[in-house]
Structure 1
Amino acid sequence: MKKFYIITNHAKDAGFVVTGQIAEFLESHGAVCSCRKGGAASGESRREAEQEVIPPDTDCVIVLGGDGTLMRAAYDVHGMGIPLIGINLGTLGYLAEVERPSIYPALDCLLKDQFQVERRMMLHGAVYHEDKLVHEDIALNDIVIGRSGALHVMSLYNYVNGNYLNYYRGDGVIIASPTGSTGYSLSAGGPLISPDAALFLMTPLCAHTLNTRSIILPAENRITVRIGAGRDDTVENAMAYFDGGRKTPMVTDDRIEITRSEYDTLIVKIRNDSFLETLKRKMSDI
Structure 2
Amino acid sequence: MNSFFVVTNPIKDPEFKITDQIEKYLKDRGASCTKSVFKTAQEHQNYDFINPDEVPEKIQCILVIGGDGTLIHAAKEMAAKGIPVLGINFGNLGYLAEVEKNNIGESLDRLLKDEYHIEQRMMLEGKILRNDSVIAENIALNDIVINRCGSLRIIGYKIYVNGQLLNQYNADGIIVSTPTGTTGYNLSAGGPIAQPTSSIIVVTPICAHTLNSRSIVFSEDVTIEIEIMQDKNLKQNRRILVFDGENDVILEDSDRVIITKADLSAKIIKLNKMSFLELLGKKMR
TM-score band, normalised by the shorter chain?
over 0.9
Aligned to 2:142: 141
| Alpha-carbon distance between aligned partners in 2 of 1:103 and 1:161, rounded to the nearest angstrom | 46
Correspondences of 1:57-206 after superposition (within 5 Å):
57-206=58-207
Q: Which amino acid aligns with 1:229?
A: Q
| Alpha-carbon distance between aligned partners in 1 of 2:22 and 2:236, rounded to the nearest angstrom | 52
Secondary structure class of the residue paired with 1:272: coil
Deviations 1:25-47 (Å, cap 9, x if unpaired)?
Answer: 00100111111133343676327
| Alpha-carbon distance between aligned partners in 2 of 1:44 and 1:179, rounded to the nearest angstrom | 26
Deviations 1:224-248 (Å, cap 9, x if unpaired)?
Answer: 0110111479897421100001121
Deviations 1:54-96 (Å, cap 9, x if unpaired)?
Answer: 1131100000110010111122212010000001011111010
Q: Which amino acid aligns with 2:37?
A: K
- For structure 1, which segment, 147-156 or 240-249, has the greater mean C-alpha deviation from structure 2 after superposition? 147-156
Total equivalences in the alignment: 284
- What's the RMSD between the two structures over aligned residues? 1.8
Contact 2:49/2:74 (8 A) holds in 1: no
| Alpha-carbon distance between aligned partners in 2 of 1:19 and 1:62, rounded to the nearest angstrom | 10
Q: 1:29 to 1:233 in 2, by over 3 A?
A: closer
| Alpha-carbon distance between aligned partners in 1 of 2:76 and 2:265, rounded to the nearest angstrom | 10
Contact 2:9/2:49 (8 A) holds in 1: no
Contact 1:176/1:201 (8 A) holds in 2: yes
Deviations 1:177-206 (Å, cap 9, x if unpaired)?
Answer: 000000000000001100011010001111
Deviations 1:88-147 (Å, cap 9, x if unpaired)?
Answer: 011111010111111111000000000000000000001100111111100000000112
- For structure 1, which segment, 28-37 or 236-245, has the greater mean C-alpha deviation from structure 2 after superposition? 236-245
- Tell me how far 1:210 sits from its aligned partner: 2.0
Secondary structure class of the residue paired with 2:254: coil
Contact 2:151/2:237 (8 A) holds in 1: no
Aligned to 1:244: 245
Secondary structure class of the residue paired with 1:85: strand
| Alpha-carbon distance between aligned partners in 2 of 1:263 and 1:44, rounded to the nearest angstrom | 21
Correspondences of 1:43-58 after superposition (within 5 Å):
45-46=46-47, 50-58=51-59
| Alpha-carbon distance between aligned partners in 1 of 2:201 and 2:269, rounded to the nearest angstrom | 23
Structure 1 segments unaligned to the other structure (5+ residues)? none
TM-score (structure 2 length as normaliser): 0.95
Correspondences of 1:221-232 after superposition (within 5 Å):
221-231=222-232
Contact 1:219/1:260 (8 A) holds in 2: yes
Aligned to 1:265: 266
- Tell me how far 1:7 sits from its aligned partner: 0.7
Q: 1:195 to 1:32 in 2, by over 3 A?
A: same
Aligned to 2:26: 26
Deviations 1:146-201 (Å, cap 9, x if unpaired)?
Answer: 12332211001000011000111111000000000000000000011000110100
Secondary structure class of the residue paired with 2:157: strand
| Alpha-carbon distance between aligned partners in 2 of 1:178 and 1:198, rounded to the nearest angstrom | 7
- Tell me how far 1:218 sits from its aligned partner: 0.5
Q: 1:44 to 1:81 in 2, by over 3 A?
A: farther
Structure 2 segments unaligned to the other structure (5+ residues)? none
- For structure 1, which segment, 142-151 or 203-212, has the greater mean C-alpha deviation from structure 2 after superposition? 142-151
Q: 1:57 to 1:121 in 2, by over 3 A?
A: same
Secondary structure class of the residue paired with 1:194: coil
Q: 1:255 to 1:271 in 2, by over 3 A?
A: same
| Alpha-carbon distance between aligned partners in 2 of 1:45 and 1:134, rounded to the nearest angstrom | 16
